[in-house]
Structures are given as structure tokens and as C-alpha cells.
Structure 1
Amino acid sequence: MFTIDAHLDLSMNAMEWNRDLRLPIETINSREVGLKDKPDRGKAVVSLPALRKGNIGLVVATQIARYVAPDNPLPGWHSPEQAWAQTQGQLAWYRAMEAAGEMLQVKDLDGLEKHIKLWQEDNTSEHKPIGYILSLEGADSLVNVGHLEIAHAYGLRAVGPAHYGPGRYAQGTNATGKMGPHGYALLAEMERLNIILDATHLSDESFWDAMDHFNGAVWASHNNCRALVDHNRQFTDEQIKELISRGAVIGAALDAWMMVPGWERGLSTPVSTNCNLEVMIDHIDHICQLAGNTDHVGIGSDLDGGFGKEQCPYDLESIADLGKVPELFAKRGYSNTDIEKLMHGNWLRFLRKAWA
């Protein structure tokens, strides 16, 4: 089934992990044998050929570069200008993939409809370009709010104001606090430019602050449920209900520590915690039960978002295995219409409304 994945850090993998994503996953991993600089070396599950194999023809692909103040122990850049430059290098990689015929940027309704038609109706070409909608994960790299208009001009269509820790515009995972004046200015400019607000990673206080100050389109590209895994990275039922009331779609993430309770980094394994794709369906089903329908769920896998096979479902060898999800969803009693909504229909409905 045609599938949309609403969160992949493709340029980060290409630029910081130095992976040529045009190659088969096996080739990428073979080149990383013996490397120890990243915990997931040799364990990648994402490549452009794997996306094609899984009929994952449209993704939300990120730029990401965190600014870190002197007292911030997280990895990142020491000035907003350096962070901005990093995102521009990532943009250059996307442009190079477009020039090579590997990817195609989707940034408006006409482009969306043409790309969907290509993937759903054209069976003459096996090497179709992967469509990508550009998103900024964490707004720290915007030197000032004026940079958002520059980014919009090159195709940026969604922004998550925060990532991990304290941010320049909002507070993120494991941080606390509201957004503040710079964050409010960012939200106002996003609303003016019709840029989607990605609520993922916002601290609880910043989440509710954003909901109070933003009237545009909201989604959560990759987020799971706090009722199942009790951590501030996850959404409470109240937050999920708020997103549902806003017409949002929430993408289920496949990072094991977000899927199963009690994950201990460096100790737990997907097998020891029984983390498989069924657990992903548990989170999706929880949202459906809160909504009373299947209109607000999708996939935002976050695969190879700084982790690999060591920290994703044990029954997933590559991202192409998202093709197993429809059968698992059907086993829970969901209809073919429900399955189509999960795999692509809800994201398409959302974008058609947001870009109308």
C-alpha cells in the first residue's frame, strides 16, 4: 500500500552519519563495520531504495541543528549562525538528490497531487523519486524570526519549535517552561506564512502555550502516548484530545524507548522488551479510542533518527517492513478504509486542507 512517513532525518544521516542513502542498506552498513563513533553504526534501516521497496513515496524530511548555550551538555552548535549553516548544508544535499532524480520536493497542493498521481498510477517506472516535504526539527537554527521567510522561500513547510532540552524559541523534551516572546513571534510568522506547527518535542508548558498562541494547521509528526510509556516525550491523553480537536494527525514513532515502558539505554534490547510492530499498533489504537475514529493517526517512524536496529522493533529489518502494518492493523478489527487512512489518507487529507 502507498505509504507516507511523516518524519525521517534523511539529510542528518547523509551529512553527519556520512551515509550515501542512494545505496542499498546492506551496502551502507557494510561500510560502517568497525566504526564506533555512533551507537547505531552498521545498523541502519533507511535508504532511498528501501523506501521504494516499501512503496513509501512521500516523506516529511527534516533539517535539524541545535544551538547549545555554554551550560547545555547536549550536542549541538555554539552559535545560531553555525546551526543555520548546518541546515543549509542539509538543504544542499536535498537539492543534490533532486538533481540526481532521487528525490522531489513537494511544497504546494499542485505538486502534491502530481506526485501522488505519479506513485499511485504510473507503473512504468521503478525508479520513482521519493517526494519530500521539508520540515525543521527544532527552530534554534533560525538566527532570527526573519530567517523563517527565507526558509519558506526554499520550501520549508513545517516547523517544530523545540527538540531536546531548552531552546531559543521553545522548551523541548526533558526541559520545562513556556515559549516566551521570541516563540510567540515565531508562531505569528509561521501563521502568516501558513507553515505547519509540529507539536512534537514541545515540553508540556510550551505545548499548551503554543496551542494558546497559534491558530494555523497543527500536526505531531512523530509522537507516542504517555498512557503507555510514562515520559514527558510522549503526549498525555489531554494533549492528544487537544490535537484531535485541532484536526491534527499524530504520527506513530518506532524508537523502542518510546514504545515500551522501562527501556534502559545500553541494556534493553527489542527482543528483551518484546518491542515489535504490534506495540506500534497499541499506541495507534490508543489514539483511535480517544478520538472515536481513525482520522488522526499516521506513521512518523523516526527510523534512523540517531538509532538503528538496536533500538527499533525486532520484526523490522528495514523501513520497507512498514508494509507489515496494514495486516497488523486489520487484525485489531480495523477496516480497509481505516488502514488506508493510517498509511497515507490522513496525512493527505491534512495537507489538502492546510494547502488549499
Structure 2
Amino acid sequence: MAHMIRDIAAALGAQAAGNLDLTVTGAAEPQVAGPQDLALAMDPKYAGGIGQGKARAAVVWQGADWQALGLEAAIFAPRSRVAMAGLTAILDAGPQIAPGVHPMAVVDPTAQIGEGAAIAPFVVIGAGVILGPRARIASHVSIAEGARIGADALILQGARIGARVSIGDRFICQPGAVIGADGFSFVTPEQSGVEEIRATLGHREEIRQQSWTRIHSLGAVTIGDDVEIGANACVDRGTIRDTLVGSGTKLDNLVHLGHNVQVGRDCLLCGQVGVAGSTKIGDRVVLAGQVGVSDNIFVGDDVIAGGGTKILSNAPAGRVLLGYPAVKMETQMEINKALRRLPRLAATVAELQKLVSKL
């Protein structure tokens, strides 16, 4: 689909110059852009690529001399990644799902399907499901009994929505995600080795045989508005109360939220983050890749944890964390410096030992 430069600039709320009636059909990096592409050169370091490509129009940095760059039109981006968000939304056609219910989908007669919904083949929708208007459900998705999903949902291939899960409006679910699987809850008839170690921090009176008894999950999952769940992410149902994900929160691929976890609003949980059961995450928390959060603790509002951080105890609001176990980021940087000095320090100590032994 072709878009005029003037329409793109208006949608982005950005200034534009040159031939605003020029049309483009896609976006590309400057050096490989063709005549129908909008080159993305939001930083002066990309200026050289414009000359290598064939783009007639580009998104450029503020104050760029677009005519000297050989362009016929330019859009000026005050903040490049915000412009990228708006531009990709304009150019993304989305998945091809035909309107209506495909004849090869299985929809329980008691399910309520909202107006304008599009349901692809091999979808299974259970009893009592409520699916909001304009929902788009790609192939091989299953939505179990009693689930409620709001307006304008996009649920992609192979996702699984469990029983009684409640989801707000404008939900996006990437392929393979599982929302509402049972929590990982087991108990032993007598005190287990894990419980003993937790109490003693490592000491065990004796090692004995033990077997695990399953604790069933009676709760579900409640998700707010404008939430996105990444591919192969897993959000477990609660044991008694629901696992909660607040509005505006985004989960990356392979994120796992255990049973009874509560995640606040507008959080960002990056790839391979794991949050153990019954932990509470505040609002606007950012957990970088492979962050692990222990069970039954809280992470305060506006906490930021760097990649690979392991949060084992309560984290106060606004704290910036790094390391295993998590400490203030500046403290971890000092620890890292000290670790790099250890070989030299060990050699110095060895020399001092020699001198002392001679004395």
C-alpha cells in the first residue's frame, strides 16, 4: 500500500519538506533503499548510506540538509525511536486473517464472538468464552472455557489461553505463548529438604526420602489493557487468587511468571526473565534479559535491573540493580573492578608471603 509523505508526516506529528505528494510503499535502511522505499536515516552517521541507495525520500535528523543529500522529500524526526514506532505502525499490514469465522474453526455454541472478529482455521474456542469486537485470532490458537478477551485483540499462531483467563482490550499475544497453565506447586507430607535448607541456610539434620503431592491451581490469570505477551512466554494461573499483569506491561519471548505473581502497570520484562511464585512487581519496573526474581518478595516501583541480575530479596522503589545477588549498580561495578584486580592482588600477596617467611 502506498503512503504519501505528507500523510506519514502528519501521522507522526513531524515536520516535512520537499515533494510531500511523493509516495512510498515501505521502509528500508538507506544503503539498500529503492525508489519506493522511505529511507531511515535519523542520525547523521547514516548520511553516507543515502547516497549509496536509491531512495527519493527519507526520515532524517533535525536540521539535516536533505537537498544536499539528493532527496526529493524529507521527514524530520525529533526523537528517532518514537518516529520508528509510529512509522512501523503505519507500514505494518499485520497478519492476513480473513474476516468472520473460518469453517475449519471449532467454536462452542455458547461462546460470544464480538462484531468484526476474524477467526482463522484450526482455532478452538471453548464454552462460555467472550471474545471482544474486532479480535483477530490466527490459526491453531485455543481459548479454553470461560475466558474473556477484550476488544481489538491479536492472538497469533499456536497461543494457548487457559480456562477463566480474563484479558483487557488491545491485547497482543505472540506465537506459542501459554497463559493460564497450572502453577508449579508441590508439597511433601513432612518437612522437605528444601524447607529445612530455607530455615537453616544450608544445614541438614538428615537426608530422607520424600515424595511430592500436587497443589492444584484454582485461580486464573487477569491481564489489563494494552498488554503484549511474547512468543513462548508462560504466565501460570494462581493457586487460589489470580496471577495479575497490569495494563501497559510488555513481556518478551520466553518470560515466565509463576503462580500468584503480581506485575504492575507499564513494566518491561525482557527475554528469559523468570519471576517465581507469589512475588509482587511494582509499576514501571524494567527487568533486562535473564533477570531472575525469587519467590515471595516485592520489587518496588521504577526498579531497573540490568541483564542477568538475580533479585533474591526485597528491592526498594527506584533502585537500579545489577549482579548476583542483586546490589546497587554502582556497587556491582566496584565489585567487578575488584574481581579484575584479584590475580594481581594474589601475586602481590604471594611476594609479601615470601618476604615475611625470610624475615
Give your verdict on TM over 0.5. Answer: no
TM-score of the pair, normalised by structure 1: 0.23
Larger helix percent: 1
Q: Which has the larger radius of gyration?
A: 2
